[in-house]
């Protein structure tokens, strides 16, 4: 596994938490308050970013961690898409959109870099292991 002591140490999780707070502010606006479907969907997707990072960190292997980081990255892309909806509906200004869009893309990039790092680590570990046994193909089944 990675050297993070806890999921709270992961910068993408920290930034995701900030994005959650920003999304909550949008959802509390009077103009947004009655769009229950929008509020529900964007809150679920933004919360999923941090939740998947935390869940992945607590998995037992780097491949599992990578899988959950991928889920977090996809949730981040979903939030980014919902921000366009918020802009189109007039829930946020262009300035707010630009700021939140940049935050969501930054988190996606951080997650992508962490995924690549973990994949590289797995590859290095696999390639540096000496082969000590040569398995024979099974020629018959009991």
Q: Which residues contact 60 (CB under 8 A, 6 or more apart)?
A: 1
CB-based burial label for 101 (10 Å; 0-12, 13-18, 19+) = middle
Check pLDDT > 60 for residue 36. Answer: yes
pTM score of the predicted model = 0.82
Topology of domain 7-126 in CATH is: de novo design (two linked rop proteins) (1.20.1440)
**pLDDT tens column, 61-95:** 889 999 999 999 999 999 999 999 999 999 999 99
| Cβ proximity of 44 and 24 under 8 Å | no
Rounded to an integer, what distance in angstroms lies between the CA atom of residue 134 and that of residue 139?
15
């Amino acid at each position: 596994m990675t050297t993070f002591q806890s999921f709270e140490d992961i910068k993408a999780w920290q930034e995701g938490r900030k994005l959650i707070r920003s999304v909550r502010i949008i959802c509390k606006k009077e103009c947004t308050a009655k769009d229950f479907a929008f509020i529900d969907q964007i809150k679920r997707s933004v919360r999923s970013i941090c939740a998947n990072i935390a869940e992945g960190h607590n998995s037992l292997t780097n491949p599992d961690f990578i899988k959950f980081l991928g889920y977090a990255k996809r949730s981040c892309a979903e939030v980014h898409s919902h921000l366009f909806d918020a802009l189109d509906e007039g829930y946020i200004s262009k300035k707010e959109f630009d700021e939140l869009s940049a935050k969501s893309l930054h988190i996606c990039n951080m997650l992508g870099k962490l995924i690549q790092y973990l994949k590289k680590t797995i590859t290095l570990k696999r390639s540096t292991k000496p082969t000590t046994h040569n398995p024979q193909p099974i020629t018959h089944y009991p």
